[in-house]
Structure 1
């Protein structure tokens, strides 16, 4: 913390555990921030990314439940909030979230990993003076969001602010220090807060909807613009037009299947990464931990590269995990295979019954069509016979005179 405080003068030199304050973050806030950043980048919008955070405060615990974007204005080279717009928007959000009553707990923006910059001070000072004297700052690190890895930490940092004495460094003035009368000036400092992620029942529905949408997402190429010299008066064939329109349309069953397969694939990737981590940890143990009395030690084995510090707690956990693997294998393999075969036969039987029912439905449809065709043919024969009889009644007899 001291190194970061020396690099960034806005960071506090105190530890985050001194205040006892803790933040609880909800996933809807992350979805709102990511959606705002994505729209801001795709539309090439100018200006900073600024939004407000609303939630509850219970003692030394602050919950961040919702977020909304804010309008900003330039003033004297700085960026400030549009006070009138922000006041109306905050009142609307308070009316929407009345049970429980939510209030402003902080704001968010995009910052580098090094910490806050002087450009955020006008907005933060305004929120401290007008709305909440203990407003938090959520800094989203967009660079880390691009280069993230599976199971890594969220690309954000939550800060609390307080006024501290700006003491000079020991090496700035040497042994001789200047004596000043009065109290030393106070400056605004930011201190990193520990946070945890908490998900509610309503948020699980939103997360499931987002997961389904991400599972069925496809890359759509941009539509080509009509060239000046290209003739577009001719009509395209009907079949080709329908094929182009329905190329990226998926049914609901396909979307659910893709979402389920995507979730399983992500789970397998996570499991594989954890297995690789355990394997790497065991391979980098010192040779004394790898060699046993029964297995001969190969010369030069596990001696190259740095070794990890052995942890008996981790080794016991790995041993317990390996011992539990035998419980997953059924004791009676033959009975297990028979049960699996019976389940497979039931599935195939249900599939055959489904095919038979579909065939019966199709045969019934063919029978209905055949009866309609035969009825039309019989009706045509009757009409022809009636016309022949009527035509014979007008024929002249052998004794009739043709005038």
Structure 2
């Protein structure tokens, strides 16, 4: 456990203090933050890498939508100072692609907000008057559903505010409830991701399925072979219905080696090969034709390249064509 998780003074106001913010969270930020954490775990070989990123979205009064994210960097090993040059550069790049999205906050990974987050929070006020904080809490997966208060996602959102107590003020957070907002395109993308989208993942899933099917078929064939062997050896009791089914199955297998089937298969295979060869020959002919045309242009004299030469090449004056002259 890091030092930021052991602070005794809580920087989060009690649940009795509510925020009037209407917050909507889209699926893309959830996927981005999860992928960011997973990638850093693998790269740094650590279970608790420091994760920092920016939230992009829209705000209309007290209604806020978190639509997208991008990763951020720090300029020191203690992660106390944000790399503002990198932040501005990435923000401007996203602004060119998504002009309607604004910087509305930042995200990290922790069990709860601490004073360290308050210090980072102050560095984002120059980009947004009231930047939100979105925290991914992976440890919630280890807590029972009763302790999580029916929170379905290990994510919590916080709004910064000022607490006045005993004539002193300090920066604190108010937890903000949120709804997951999805559009039709986002639902399709999330479903595609959940199904293992991407050519490599899809192919791997398909091959795994094929392998399992072949393995299961092989195991069942071994069971049948053992049964027949035991029947022949007198170690198993013969079941005539099973034996008849096996006989029918074996009788259907040689059909694939029928003479007419083999002839038809060979004919279709040859037709496919011939079509492929013709396609390759046509492509080679086109390439050769382009090469000849370029060679003719390069070997023509200056006069032949003029309008008169062009008309002569087109055969309008009865003269020989370029192809005849070339040959």
Task: Give the TM-score normalised by structure 2.
Answer: 0.56
* Shift in alpha-carbon separation, 1:251–1:141, aligned structure 2, 3 A: closer
Tell me how far apart the structure 1 counterparts of residues 68 and 269 of structure 2 sit (CA, whole Å): 60
Q: Which residue of 2 aligns with 1:89?
A: 90
Change (3 A) 1:364 1:74: same
Where in structure 1 are there 5+ consecutive unaligned residues? 1-5, 168-183, 219-248, 259-354, 371-403
Aligned residue for 1:102?
101
Structure 1 residue 159: deviation in Å? 0.5
Could you tell me how far apart the structure 1 residues matched to 2:95 and 2:261 are? 58
Partner of 1:44: 44
Q: Is the 8 A contact 1:212 1:256 kept in 2?
A: no
**Contact 1:216–1:255 under 8 Å retained in 2:** no
Question: Is the alpha carbon distance of 1:107 and 1:251 closer, same or farther for their aligned partners in structure 2, counting shifts above 3 Å?
Answer: closer
Say whether residues 1:23 and 2:23 are aligned partners: yes
- Cα distance between partner residues in 2 of 1:361 and 1:148: 62
Does the aligned pair in 1 maintain the 2:73–2:82 contact within 8 Å? yes
TM-score by length of 1: 0.46
CA RMSD of aligned residues (A): 3.8
Which residue number in structure 2 is paired with residue 62 of structure 1? Answer: 64
* Residue of 167, 181, 200 corresponding to 1:198: 181
Aligned mates of 2:261, 2:17 — CA distance in 1: 71
The answer as to whether partners of 2:118 and 2:172 remain within 8 angstroms in 1 is: no
Is the counterpart of residue 119 in structure 1 residue 19 in structure 2?
Answer: no
**SS of the residue aligned with 1:34?**
helix
What displacement does 1:74 show?
2.1
Question: Computing the radius of gyration over CA atoms, which structure comes out larger, 1 or 2?
Answer: 1
Rate the CA distance shift 1:369–1:79 in 2: closer, same or farther, 3 A: closer
Q: Is contact 1:74-1:80 (8 Å) kept?
A: yes
- The Cα of 1:15 is off from its aligned counterpart by 3.4
Shift of 1:116: 0.8
Q: Deviations over 1:352-399 (max 9, x none)?
A: xxx99xx987542346799xxxxxxxxxxxxxxxxxxxxxxxxxxxxx
In 2: Cα distance, 1:104 partner to 1:209 partner:
28
Count, aligned residues? 214
Instruction: Name which of structure 1's ranges 77-86 and 209-218 shifts more when overlaid on structure 2.
Output: 209-218
Change in 2 beyond 3 A, CA 1:119/1:250: same
Cα distance change, pair 369–119 in 1 and its aligned pair in 2 (3 A): closer
CA contact (8 A) 1:53 1:66 kept: yes
Return 5+ residue gaps in structure 2 as ranges. Answer: 1-6, 212-254, 271-327
SS at match of 2:76: strand
Conserved 8 A contact 1:15-1:191: no
Distance 2:183 2:269 in 1: 56
Shift of 1:250: 3.9
Q: Which SS does the other structure have where 1:91 is aligned?
A: helix
